[in-house]
């Protein structure tokens, strides 16, 4: 339950609904409220889409009420410790979810059929999925002496080096992630295929089969590339409402963008789940200030930002306010990226941001932070 997963899933539900398939989104009340505007717009357009809300056992997991999404939780490590003990137990979490089965239409009255039809939607491109698969299979990180010693990931045509510190934590492993990772692996094994928010031509290999084919061969299952699903949001209102209620209105955002020169604004945003330390935040701010470019900078709300850093940030805002738009909280990213004044995107390389930047045709400066982003 993270915005980076939920947003493309809602886009996917819309794409299914546009083809006449009833799409049902199963989620929790907190997350349902975030996507309400988007889902309501789809329903009002006459498409077959619906929501089912299930309660989330926050208290049983030792979390405050309303903590139903990664970006509302202070620490991912804390979440993993709690969920590994409680939330993932089927008897104490959401029994309705585990009893939910898809019943396809009967072929005829005499031959009823009931079956599980499940495909994984991992939220990454096929190159990253194959990369993670090979890390897990060959485990080259076990042969290095330190977390910062580089090693080559086997089974790829391109020579890709990474360090143990940069590996996805669910592969390298920490004790409190074990149960979570094992449950995900079990679910993956029972699926009949993978749906990827990518497209075939994006992941070619010059000398060998494309990474889509390589990944499909590695897992022995069908892979469907149906992305970028974000392109189903064609109207300005769809782009503005996508994901969550923005911390800036659509009209405010467009007024600022329309006042700038084409292909000249830098957009800096590091996603909904990544954490930027206060010292890193200050360096990024100083860099944007020193660039002398107009910029939009999205800063996640954080409870651990000291008074000193807040005061520094207030001073920066005052110095650059004539050429900057600093958004504290959620930003309408697709609305911003698709505007012709955006010339560059400073990003953490999350797959949604990467594919949206590619669709927008903007240059990207990449600052990988965690998971597969390296």
Q: What is the pLDDT of residues 47-66, one digit of tens each?
A: 999 988 988 887 777 777 87
Residue 179 CA, distance from chain mean position: 22
Task: Check pLDDT > 70 for residue 277.
Answer: yes
- Percent of the chain beyond pLDDT 90? 47
Tell me the whole-structure pTM to 2 decimals: 0.84
Task: Check pLDDT > 70 for residue 287.
Answer: yes
Q: Are 267 and 344 in contact (CB under 8 A)?
A: yes
Write down all domains in the chain, each with its CATH number in brackets: 3-99 (no CATH), 126-229 (no CATH), 235-373 (3.40.50.2000)
pLDDT at 104: 45
- What is the rounded (10 degree) CA torsion for 167, 173, 179, 185? 50
Task: Check pLDDT > 90 for residue 241.
Answer: no
What Å distances lie between residue 40 and 5, 54, 212, 241, 250, CA to CA?
A: 19, 18, 34, 11, 18
DSSP of 293-313, one letter per residue? S-EEEEE---TT--HHHHHHH
CA count, 13 A, side-chain hemisphere, 18: 11
Q: What is the pLDDT of residues 113-129, one digit of tens each?
A: 444 568 888 888 999 99
């Amino acid at each position: 339950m993270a915005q980076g997963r939920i947003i493309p899933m809602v886009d996917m539900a819309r794409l299914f609904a546009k083809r006449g398939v009833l799409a049902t989104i199963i989620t929790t009340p907190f997350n349902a409220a975030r996507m309400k505007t988007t889902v309501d717009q789809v329903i009002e357009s006459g498409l077959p889409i619906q929501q089912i809300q299930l309660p989330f056992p926050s208290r049983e997991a030792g979390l405050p009420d309303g903590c139903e999404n990664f970006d509302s939780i202070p620490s991912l490590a804390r979440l993993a410790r709690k969920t590994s003990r409680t939330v993932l137990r089927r008897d104490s979490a959401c029994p309705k979810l585990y009893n939910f089965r898809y019943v396809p239409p009967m072929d005829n009255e005499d031959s009823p059929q009931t079956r599980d039809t499940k495909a994984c939607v991992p939220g990454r491109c096929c190159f990253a999925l194959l990369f993670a698969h090979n890390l897990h299979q060959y485990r080259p990180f076990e042969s290095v002496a330190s977390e910062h010693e580089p090693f080559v990931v086997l089974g790829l045509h391109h020579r890709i080096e990474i360090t143990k510190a940069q590996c996805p934590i669910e592969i390298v492993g920490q004790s409190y992630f074990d149960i979570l990772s094992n449950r995900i692996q079990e679910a993956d094994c029972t699926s009949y295929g993978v749906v990827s928010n990518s497209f075939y031509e994006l992941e070619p290999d010059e000398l060998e089969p494309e990474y889509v084919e390589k990944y499909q061969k590695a897992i022995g299952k069908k892979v469907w590339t149906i992305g970028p699903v974000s392109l189903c949001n064609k109207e300005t209102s769809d782009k503005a409402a996508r994901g969550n209620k923005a911390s800036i209105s659509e009209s405010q955002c467009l007024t600022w963008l329309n006042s700038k020169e084409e292909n000249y604004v830098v957009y800096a945003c590091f996603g909904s789940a990544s954490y930027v330390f206060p010292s890193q935040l200050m360096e990024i701010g100083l860099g944007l200030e020193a660039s002398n470019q107009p910029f939009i900078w999205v800063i996640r709300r954080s409870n651990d930002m000291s008074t000193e850093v807040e005061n520094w940030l207030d001073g920066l805002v005052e110095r650059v306010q004539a050429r900057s738009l600093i958004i504290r909280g959620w930003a309408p990213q697709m609305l911003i990226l698709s505007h012709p004044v955006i010339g560059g995107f400073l990003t953490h390389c999350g797959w949604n941001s990467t594919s949206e930047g590619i669709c927008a045709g903007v240059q990207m400066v990449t600052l990988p932070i965690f998971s597969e982003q390296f």
